[in-house]
Structure 1
Amino acid sequence: MIRAENLQKRVPMAGGELEILKGISLEIKSGETVAIVGASGSGKSTLLGLLAGLDEGSGGRVVIGDTDLSQLDEDGRAVFRGREVGFVFQSFQLLPALTALENVMLPLELKGQGDAREQASHYLERVELSARTSHYPRQLSGGEQQRVAIARAFAARPAILFADEPTGNLDTRTGAHIIDLLFELNQQEGTTLVLVTHDLQLAQRCQRRLVLEAGELVEGD
């Protein structure tokens, strides 16, 4: 389970501070699919980053399972993310010097997993990219790059998958295919899925929607 308690985020700026999140409290159960929605600048991506342990809050705390992220330093959070969390980003975040297979293998190798190549090949097959394993990101379409990113995220068998605008750089048809693939794999793996999106079609596929407005949680269903 993910629990945020009075989560705040402020950043310094000329003449004072900018308050991005204003005391967010929420709970997400294991296995749930949850969409965080809201207008641009409402704090969606900031909230996702804090829930995932990519950033530290200015106040409050995030607890995942029995782990209080506020009690971990940067290295401790990195170890926790490597063990428990997967990511899918709008910009794909693939390493250009690595092939599709090597991009998926990398987090598995960093964990010391001995069957990294076999596991990576398996998940690339599941996202229908068996014929593209030796291709570099520049040789792949946007949709194919996002499928590699999804394979990389699921290959590590995370308990939680965070996705930030996973269809944001894709055309409507490709985005719809990515949505289907993401939810199909998520259902098969039983992963908790938390995503940020402005795509209402994508948000409606989730079990719950959390609506942010100017850094405050104004609605949840």
Structure 2
Amino acid sequence: MIKAENLQKRVPMGGSELEILKGITLEIKSGETVAIVGASGSGKSTLLGLLAGLDEASGGRVLIGDTDLAELDEDGRALFRGREIGFVFQSFQLLPALTALENVMLPLELMGQDNPRQEAEQYLQRVELTERMQHYPRQMSGGEQQRVAIARAFAARPTILFADEPTGNLDTRTGAHIIDLLFGLNREEGTTLVLVTHDLKLAERCQRRLVLEAGELVED
């Protein structure tokens, strides 16, 4: 379960502060699929980053299960993310010097997981990239790179998957295929899925929509 209590985010700007999030309170149950939507600048990606422990709140707190992220230091949050959280980003975030297989293996190796190669190969097969395992990101299309990113995220068997505009850099047809893969794997793995999107079709696939407007939660 993910719980945000009076979550706030402010950043310095020209001698004053810009308030990005204004006291967000929400709860996401285990296994739910939730879309965070809203206009550009509404605070969607900021909220996602705080829920995922990638950034620190200015006020309030985030609880994942029994863990209060505010009580962890940077190293503690990194360890927690490695155990519990997976990510899929709009820009793929693949390491260009590593093959598709090596990109998926790397987080598994850092976790000290047994048989990282076998696990990585299994998930690349599940996203239909059996023939592309030894290719580098520059040799792959955007849709193929995003499938590598999805395989990497799920291979670590996270309890929660956060996705920030996962179809934002893809054409409509490729994006639809990525959505099917993402939700298919999510059902099979029983992962909690929280995503930010401008894509209404993608948002409609989720069980809930959280609508942000100027840093406030205006609809759930």
Query: TM over 0.5, yes or no?
Result: yes
TM-score of the two chains, using structure 1 as the length reference: 0.99
Query: Which aligned pairs between 1:33-112 and structure 2 lie closer than 5 A?
Result: 33-112=33-112
Q: Distance in 1 between matches of 2:78 and 2:156?
A: 14
Give the alignment's Cα RMSD to 1 decimal. 0.3
1:159-178 CA-partner distances (Å, limit 9, x unpaired)? 00000000000000000000
% same residue = 86
Q: Which one-letter code corresponds to 1:19 in the other structure? A: E
SS at match of 1:112: coil
1:59-88 CA-partner distances (Å, limit 9, x unpaired)? 000000010000001100000000000000
TM-score of the two chains, using structure 2 as the length reference: 1.00
* 1:205 Cα deviation after fit: 0.2
1:108-145 CA-partner distances (Å, limit 9, x unpaired)? 00000121000000000000000000000000000000
Q: Distance in 1 between matches of 2:45 and 2:124?
A: 27
* 1:25 Cα deviation after fit: 0.2
* Structure 1: runs of 5+ lacking an equivalent: none
Q: Which one-letter code corresponds to 2:110 in the other structure? A: L
Q: Which residue is 2:15 aligned to?
A: 15
Q: Distance in 2 between matches of 1:117 and 1:136?
A: 16
SS at match of 2:113: coil
* Structure 2: runs of 5+ lacking an equivalent: none
SS at match of 1:154: helix
Q: Which residue is 1:149 aligned to?
A: 149
Q: Distance in 1 between matches of 2:60 and 2:77?
A: 16
Q: Which residue is 2:174 aligned to?
A: 174
Q: Which residue is 1:25 aligned to?
A: 25
Q: Which one-letter code corresponds to 1:119 in the other structure? A: E
SS at match of 2:168: coil
Q: Which one-letter code corresponds to 2:216 in the other structure? A: E
* 1:98 Cα deviation after fit: 0.2
1:15-55 CA-partner distances (Å, limit 9, x unpaired)? 30000000000000000000000000000000000000000
Q: Which one-letter code corresponds to 2:161 in the other structure? A: L
Q: Distance in 1 between matches of 2:90 and 2:198?
A: 12
Query: Which aligned pairs between 1:189-208 and structure 2 lie closer than 5 A?
Result: 189-208=189-208
SS at match of 1:12: strand
Q: Distance in 2 between matches of 1:135 and 1:15?
A: 49
| Count of aligned pairs between the two proteins | 220
Q: Which one-letter code corresponds to 2:87 in the other structure? A: F
Q: Which residue is 2:139 aligned to?
A: 139
Q: Distance in 2 between matches of 1:171 and 1:203?
A: 17
SS at match of 1:11: strand
